[in-house]
Amino acid sequence: MAQVNPHAVRVVITGMGVICPLGNDVETLWSNLLAGKSGAGPITRFDASPFLTRIACEIKDFDPEKYMERRDARRLDLAIQYSLAAATGAMEQSRLKVTPENATRIGVLVGTGIGGLSTIEEGIRTMLDKGPMRVSPLTSAMMLPDMSSGQISISFGLKGPNFCIMSACATSGHTLGEASEIIRRGDADVMLAGGTEAAIVPFGVAAFHRTGALSTRNDDPLHASRPFDAQRDGFVFGEGAAILVLERLEHAQARNAPIFAELTGYGSTADAYHISAPAENGEGATRSMQMALRKAGLTPEEIDYINAHGTSTQLNDKSETVALKRAFGEYAYKVPISSTKSMVGHLLGAAGTVEAIASVMTILTGIIHPTINYEYPDPDCDLDYVPNSPRKMRVRTVLSNSFGFGGHNTSLVFKAYEPEAENG
């Protein structure tokens, strides 16, 4: 194959799949986001009464046997089940047919913030209660974070680049960005990329609560996730998976694939500041956004909408607001910004891809979904967060942020697909 100039390669989105608290397909997710619906409620997976946090955004009505054989549904960790289901939806939407001729040019890059936590917790409980010989032989494979990528590859026969990225809540931003780079450098024509998470288990909730990151608004879960609001008290745990089919433009055109948007910019930086708290001056996040804009060839004023990381924690929302002002200057006060997490909760390693889908749907529909539960303005968060109601406007470019524990920052730029841009 001839060498590829990465600067000349355009990467487009030809398929989207999602399993999340607001729906198990893109259309349902999007209609619920526009309706301002919250996916939060009391935890039902286990008895949460001893916990200080007893709420989460759980997935409803998920039947794994719609997406996989019963044998796989019984043995695969829930995080793997979610990712395989989301990949199935993305593949169906993209109308991508895998053949012996193209299989080696289609890869998978699916990340997770934690991995198979339910498998790990169950295995440890079994070992302590019943002894080491009673631990399932499948445990070692099903708890590994790379098994979503592996299972998707096996299920669809995809033989291109295949691995996993783990960068906490920045994971999905990294998987989408790095998958686009794989295509740009010519190592694949198509990449399935995204994230998955299924950490609403006792240990997961206990561990994150001990960091002080989770909301304890147990008596009012529908209003618990309130990004940028002065009374925010932490994020609401979410779960699920989202997968995009990223494709080299010429490859998509050759097979007459649906093209929903273009991924034009990717930034990735580190705070080098603190293991869990973001840098107060937003320096690392600022550079991430600036890098993504530079790679997309855009000025800040050319961004029509920002899908914020917006977790509903005191530190994150304040530092992201500071970073937005540093990256966008006075234009930060004019560009609309909203947080998908206000409704779906925080899906950790899957968050960035769910938000990528929201970004693409904003471009396609010309409607910005709101940040719900915004009631009490915070003087430290004084930008336009599209409070409580959707907003109609022409959106051609979107910047989406994902930041994670460890000081990881990623930013992505999505753009409306314009065929005529091919030659200029």
Q: How far apart are CA 82 and CA 223, in angstroms?
A: 26
Count: domains in the chain = 2
pLDDT recorded at residue 4:
53
DSSP 103: G
Q: Are 409 and 316 in contact (CB under 8 A)?
A: no
Angle at 308 (CA atoms; ends 260, 388), nearest 5 degrees: 95
Out of 169, 174, 369, 408, the active site residue is: 169
Helices (H) and strands (E) in the chain, counts: 13, 14
Out of 346, 369, 381, 408, the active site residue is: 346
For 334, the token pair is 């004019």
DSSP 36: T
Q: How far apart are CA 351 and CA 338, in angstroms?
A: 14
Is 111 in a helix, a strand, or coil? strand
Domain contains 303 = yes
* Residue 195: its H or E element: strand 190-197
Examine the domain organization and report whether 245 and 180 are in the same domain: yes
Domain contains 260 = no
Q: How far apart are CA 210 and CA 193, in angstroms?
A: 31
pLDDT recorded at residue 3:
52
Domain contains 1 = no
Q: Are strands 162-163 and 190-197 parallel, antiparallel or unpaired?
A: unpaired
Assess whether 309 carries a catalytic annotation: yes
Q: How far apart are CA 374 and CA 179, in angstroms?
A: 35
Task: Point out the residues of the chain with pLDDT beneath 70.
Answer: 1-7, 420-424
Is 161 in a helix, a strand, or coil? coil
Examine the domain organization and report whether 61 and 168 are in the same domain: yes
- Please say which residue of 226, 254, 282 terminates a domain: 254
Examine the domain organization and report whether 247 and 381 are in the same domain: no
Q: Are 241 and 350 in contact (CB under 8 A)?
A: yes
Domain contains 5 = no
Examine the domain organization and report whether 210 and 274 are in the same domain: no
For 282, the token pair is 């937003």
Examine the domain organization and report whether 110 and 19 are in the same domain: yes
Examine the domain organization and report whether 233 and 296 are in the same domain: no
The boundaries of the domain holding residue 142 are: 10-254
Q: How far apart are CA 130 and CA 149, in angstroms?
A: 32
Q: How far apart are CA 28 and CA 19, in angstroms?
A: 10
Examine the domain organization and report whether 320 and 180 are in the same domain: no
**Pick from 413, 420, 298, 288: which is nearest to 360 by CA?**
413
For 364, the token pair is 């396609």
Helix axes 283-296, 314-328, angle to 10 degrees: 50
Assess whether 20 carries a catalytic annotation: no
pLDDT recorded at residue 275:
86
For 193, the token pair is 């990329």
Q: Where are the alpha helices (DSSP H) in 95-201?
A: 117-130, 139-142, 147-156, 171-184
Prediction pTM value: 0.96
- Please say which residue of 193, 226, 254 terminates a domain: 254
Examine the domain organization and report whether 181 and 227 are in the same domain: yes
Question: What one-letter code names the amino acid at 360?
Answer: V
Q: How far apart are CA 308 and CA 403, in angstroms?
A: 10
Q: How far apart are CA 349 and CA 333, in angstroms?
A: 29
77, 146, 277, 42 alpha-carbon torsion, rounded to 10°:
-10
Residues in the chain: 424
The domain spanning residue 410 has which CATH number? 3.40.47.10
Question: What one-letter code names the amino acid at 242?
Answer: A
Give the position of tokens 């530079």. 294
- Please say which residue of 197, 222, 254 terminates a domain: 254
Contacts of 73 (CB under 8 A, 6+ apart): 64, 65, 81
Residue 164's Cβ-count burial label (10 Å; 0-12, 13-18, 19+) is buried
Domain contains 355 = yes
Examine the domain organization and report whether 231 and 292 are in the same domain: no
Domain contains 3 = no
Out of 251, 309, 369, 408, the active site residue is: 309
* Residue 29: its H or E element: helix 26-34
**Pick from 347, 380, 355: which is nearest to 280 by CA?**
380
Examine the domain organization and report whether 294 and 207 are in the same domain: no
pLDDT recorded at residue 9:
95
Domain contains 307 = yes
Q: For 372-406, b where at least 16 C-beta lie within 10 A, e where not — what string?
A: bbbeeebeebebebbbeebbeeebebbbbbbbbbb
Assess whether 346 carries a catalytic annotation: yes
Domain contains 282 = yes
For 80, the token pair is 């793997």
Examine the domain organization and report whether 219 and 273 are in the same domain: no
* Residue 291: its H or E element: helix 283-296
Examine the domain organization and report whether 280 and 165 are in the same domain: no
